[in-house]
Every structure is written in C-alpha cells, then in structure tokens.
C-alpha cells in the first residue's frame, strides 16, 4: 500500500512487480502516480485500488490514467476508482474491453460531486461477452446513470451484484435532515 508519494518513489528500484497496488485513503492520487505504478507492474497487476469517498482523494485522476490502466493491465481482476469524478465513459469502456478478466469494478463519485459516467457506458455491459467474469459493480454517485438502466442490467445479469445510487454525506446536519424525513443513512443506494 502506498500511503504517500514518498512510498511510491521508494519502490522504483524493486525488480519484482507487484500483483496488487493500493493507494491509501490519504494519498491524493494523480495521473502520474497511477502511470508510475502501472508501468512498474504492467500485465502482472491483478488488483488496483485508489481513492476514498471520505477524503475525496480520487478526484484528481483523469481519463489519461484510466486509459493507461486499460492499455497496460490486461490481467486486472479488480479495479476500484473511488471518488474518481473525472473518469468518463470513453476511459471506463476502454477498461471494459481491454481488461476482460475483470471480476470487480468500482467507479464512484462522492457525496459532494457526481462522477462522469452515463447510461451509455453501463449499457455496454448488456452484452454478456463484455466482462463475462464480472461479479461486482459499484457505480455510486453517477447522476447521469439512470435507475431504469441499472435495473435492466440487473435483469440481464441476475448474478451480478450491483450497488448504484447516491451515497449520503457523513455530516451531522445531513443525518438530522434524513431523520426528519423518515430516512436512514444509505437510503439513496439501490
């Protein structure tokens, strides 16, 4: 796990590539950081996790890094892009087609800013030959992904566990408003 940029810089001399890379929740991950880690691991990389909805540390990542992941990590099985509001349909679709072994995929915005995915990206998964091994999909805080598209995907892939919808703020004020409305934390997810 990389907790800081210094941790990432310290691994440059390690000859054996990692199979799993996790950027800590306090690490404000940038495109260059992901590119460096991916270049070190290339096709050995099976798990890549970054960002945090609590700290928002994934917001600096762009399509540049996501396309780089797709181009260099064909054996990727788990990709968690949490709070990555800048990942667009083009980059995530690239991952879907170039990382066919993917079992778990998360692309989330966060409670203060929506992600950039749309229905068109999710509809790619209607084709069962796209990510045929996918077992889990998290697409929270994506305001341009409609409920009906997610429900249609659930009908087409009944074994696929999907978490979608809007996450709640962790603030006390938000909790009080939810309580006054007769709702609970997490009611925005489906």
For the beta carbon of residue 45, count every other beta carbon within 10 angstroms. 25
For the stretch 128-145, pLDDT in tens is 999 999 999 999 999 999
CA distance 127 to 130: 6
CB neighbours of residue 172 within 10 Å = 8
First to last CA, the chain: 31
% of the chain residues with pLDDT over 90: 69
Short-list 70, 136, 72, CA closest to 104: 136
184-189: average pLDDT: 54
Q: Taking the complete model, does pTM exceed 0.85, yes or no?
A: yes
Q: With a cut of 70, say whether residue 168 has pLDDT above it.
A: no
C-beta of residue 58 within 8 angstroms of C-beta of residue 81: yes
Whether 36 and 11 have beta carbons less than 8 Å apart is answered as no
d(CA 14, CA 143): 41
- Average pLDDT estimate for 156-176: 75
Q: What is the pLDDT of residues 80-124, one digit of tens each?
A: 999 999 999 999 999 999 999 999 999 999 878 899 999 999 999
120 contacts: CB under 8 Å, gap ≥ 6: 89
């Amino acid at each position: 796990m990389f907790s800081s940029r210094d941790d990432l810089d310290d691994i440059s001399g390690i000859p054996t590539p990692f199979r799993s890379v996790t950027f800590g929740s306090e690490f404000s991950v940038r495109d260059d950081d992901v590119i460096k880690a991916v270049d070190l691991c290339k096709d050995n990389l099976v798990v890549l996790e970054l960002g945090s909805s609590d700290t928002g540390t994934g917001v600096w990542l762009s399509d540049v890094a996501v396309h780089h992941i797709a181009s260099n990590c064909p054996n990727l099985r788990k990709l968690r892009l949490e709070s990555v509001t800048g990942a667009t349909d083009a980059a995530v679709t690239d991952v879907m087609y170039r990382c066919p072994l993917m079992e778990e995929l998360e692309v989330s915005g966060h409670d203060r800013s929506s992600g950039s995915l749309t229905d068109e990206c999710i509809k790619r998964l209607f084709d069962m030959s796209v990510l045929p091994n996918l077992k889990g999909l998290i697409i929270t805080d994506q305001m341009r992904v409609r409920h009906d598209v997610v429900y249609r995907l659930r009908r087409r892939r009944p074994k696929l566990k999907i978490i979608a919808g809007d996450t709640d703020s962790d603030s006390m004020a938000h909790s009080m408003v939810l309580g006054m409305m007769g709702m609970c934390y997490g009611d925005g997810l489906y």
